[in-house]
Structure 1
Amino acid sequence: MNSHVAVGVDGSAEGRAAARWAAQEAVLRRVALRLVHAVDWPLDPLVPGLGPQDVDRWADRALADTAQELHRRHPHLEITTRCPRGRPAAALAAEAADASLLVLGSRGLGGLAGFLIGSVALSTVVATDAPVVLVRVADDPDVVGTRTAAEVVVGVDIREAGDRMLAFAFEEAQRRGCPLRAVHGWKMPPAYAYVPFFDPDNERDIGRSVAHMVDDMVLPWRHKFPDVETTTGVFMGSAGERLVQGSRGAGLLVVGRHRRRSPLGVHLGPVAHAALHHAAAPVAVVAHD
């Protein structure tokens, strides 16, 4: 049974952009779309003089207006709405449990490319095992067109299996009919800082070895998705910086994060952190062991 795409809706410009992007994704996947607004009274919305009934009516109106707009754009798309009560991050994570994808809006950093990740979005990303896509207003289909033909960029780590992340990236590239580029950034082992006479050939040899490992990592997925035009890029330097650079002009950037069950707060690796805050494309975060 095909699952659905869920999207957080809050009446903001970011929420509307996320809803439009999610609707487009649901059409590509040929699944239903679920609009979700979490009611967290008395904190939502922060407007003096509003009672619980006013908040409920406002939430219902936000969902109804969004659904009506998306029905006009995608008349054959099945759209449902949900208005759970509770803290938004927990409610959205719960809604994502039976979804194939959760989409959230995120505020752009003014004139700069990138995201301003709010506490709700960040907490939701680390609270769910479902893939989560962060979308800015600048990624709204009304602003940039469909962009489904733009390449999918995925960050790979040769120290991790990465199967879940690569499967997601290749499936996205296949359904969009676009190229895929797998990117890996590497650094020299720390021990080389203590070598008095460093041979540059060592760096070239390590670079070639890393490139072979990335190719071997991607090879099974090339065979599984032969119609996806696939390239790899291996660079010496920060993986996060390379992914941010690679996101320019991309239709989607895919990064991974480790599942962590620690009660000590939010945990994101440095690569996912850099991508979420500075990427110039929608970012999909895929949890893996």
Structure 2
Amino acid sequence: MLRPIVVGLDGSRESLAAADWAAREALRRGLPLRLVHAWEAGMAPDESELPELQAPRYWARRILRSAMDQLNEHYPQVYLSADQISRPAADALVSAGAEAELMVLGSRAFSGFGGFMAGSVALATVAHVTRPVVLVRADQTLEDEHMPDADGRPSAHTPYRDVVVGVDPSHPCEELLAFAFENAALRSAPLRVVHAWQLPYVQSAAEAKARKAMRAAAEKALAAVLGPWREKYPKVEVVELVEEGRPAQQLLQATQDAGLLAVGRRIRPARLGMHTGPVAHAVMHHVRCPVAIVPHE
């Protein structure tokens, strides 16, 4: 049975942009698309006819119906379904995400930064869903996935923008690399693999030599990790970027003109709460393109 791509809808511009992006992803992958809206009003049988619940129930249904109509018009080839779930939003999305191939959520932009401001629901979902989660900004369009045309204008008919993935060779993540290579292959897009390293403290006289040796070791380690994946996806153009600096900052620079960024998130015991890791947390807040958070052991 095919796992669907699942979108969390709340009626906002961000969630509608996420649904639009998810429909295009469903087309690329040949998967069904499931729309989910969580409605937290009282759902006990004796409360079902209370007048004060009729208006929110109506708007909850309208959110799904309007999104279904719009997506059916723009993407008639996609098989759509919709569910209204009477649970708190984060709980509903985590449950739905467990059965998904991919979970897609909208995320608000920071004024002045142009990146993500992930609310509590998005953060809780990212921290607990065991499948990849993609965060999409409200202003993302079909043209943003593609390179500009020869005149520098937005286009939906040019090649896809690069996919970027952040990798630490000392902690290789098969799930993350599988996601990144698969998405680059689906788009026939180049894959930029970013590995950031930092020089530990050394005496100034030995600094240049130590930096050269550390860069060489980093390049060798990354090449070794990518070797099997290059063989598995020979048609994917891979660009290795081994840069000195903080990982989040290097990823921010590498994604200035990218179409998708993928980073990993280590799955932690539930008792540790909402923890996404410092790199995932930083890129969720500041990277402009869609961000995929891929959980792994």
Please classify the TM superposition score into its range, dividing by the shorter chain length.
over 0.9
Q: Does 1:281 align with 2:282?
A: no
Equivalents in 1 of 2:143, 2:72: separation in Å?
Answer: 15
Name the TM-score, length of structure 1 as normaliser.
0.92
Offset of residue 50 of structure 1? 7.7
CA displacement 1:129-163 (0-9 Å, x = unmatched): 11000000122337766587111000001121211
CA separation of 1:50/1:221 partners in 2, compared to 1, >3 Å: closer, same or farther?
farther
Q: Does 1:183 align with 2:184?
A: no
Any gaps of 5 or more consecutive residues in structure 2?
Answer: 43-49, 145-153
Q: Does 1:161 align with 2:169?
A: no
Alignment of 1:248-267 (within 5 A): 248-267=256-275
* Preserved CA contact (<8 Å) 1:114 1:279: yes
The aligned residue for residue 229 of structure 1 is 237
Alignment of 1:1-289 (within 5 A): 1-41=1-41, 51-141=52-142, 146=156, 149-189=160-200, 192-193=201-202, 195=203, 197-289=205-297
Number of aligned residues: 280
- The one-letter code sitting in structure 1 at the alignment partner of 2:35 is L
Offset of residue 172 of structure 1? 0.5
Equivalents in 2 of 1:120, 1:219: separation in Å?
Answer: 38
* Preserved CA contact (<8 Å) 1:7 1:18: yes
3-state SS of the aligned residue for 1:99?
coil
- The one-letter code sitting in structure 1 at the alignment partner of 2:79 is E
CA separation of 1:280/1:129 partners in 2, compared to 1, >3 Å: closer, same or farther?
same
Equivalents in 2 of 1:264, 1:145: separation in Å?
Answer: 44
- The one-letter code sitting in structure 2 at the alignment partner of 1:35 is L
Bigger mean CA deviation after superposition, 223-232 or 145-154:
145-154
CA separation of 1:50/1:278 partners in 2, compared to 1, >3 Å: closer, same or farther?
farther
CA separation of 1:19/1:168 partners in 2, compared to 1, >3 Å: closer, same or farther?
same
- The one-letter code sitting in structure 2 at the alignment partner of 1:246 is A
* Preserved CA contact (<8 Å) 1:14 1:135: yes
Equivalents in 2 of 1:148, 1:67: separation in Å?
Answer: 28
CA displacement 1:75-120 (0-9 Å, x = unmatched): 1110000111111111001001111000000011124321111000
* Preserved CA contact (<8 Å) 1:132 1:286: yes
State the percentage of identical aligned residues: 40
- The one-letter code sitting in structure 1 at the alignment partner of 2:257 is G
CA separation of 1:52/1:265 partners in 2, compared to 1, >3 Å: closer, same or farther?
same
- The one-letter code sitting in structure 1 at the alignment partner of 2:236 is V
Any gaps of 5 or more consecutive residues in structure 1?
Answer: 43-48
3-state SS of the aligned residue for 2:15?
helix
Equivalents in 2 of 1:273, 1:111: separation in Å?
Answer: 18
* Preserved CA contact (<8 Å) 2:130 2:295: yes
3-state SS of the aligned residue for 1:198?
helix
3-state SS of the aligned residue for 1:123?
helix
3-state SS of the aligned residue for 1:213?
helix
- The one-letter code sitting in structure 1 at the alignment partner of 2:104 is V
- The one-letter code sitting in structure 1 at the alignment partner of 2:125 is T
Offset of residue 233 of structure 1? 0.2
3-state SS of the aligned residue for 2:196?
strand
Equivalents in 1 of 2:126, 2:159: separation in Å?
Answer: 23
The aligned residue for residue 46 of structure 1 is none
* Preserved CA contact (<8 Å) 2:126 2:276: no
Give the superposed CA RMSD. 1.8
Offset of residue 214 of structure 1? 0.6
Equivalents in 2 of 1:148, 1:140: separation in Å?
Answer: 15
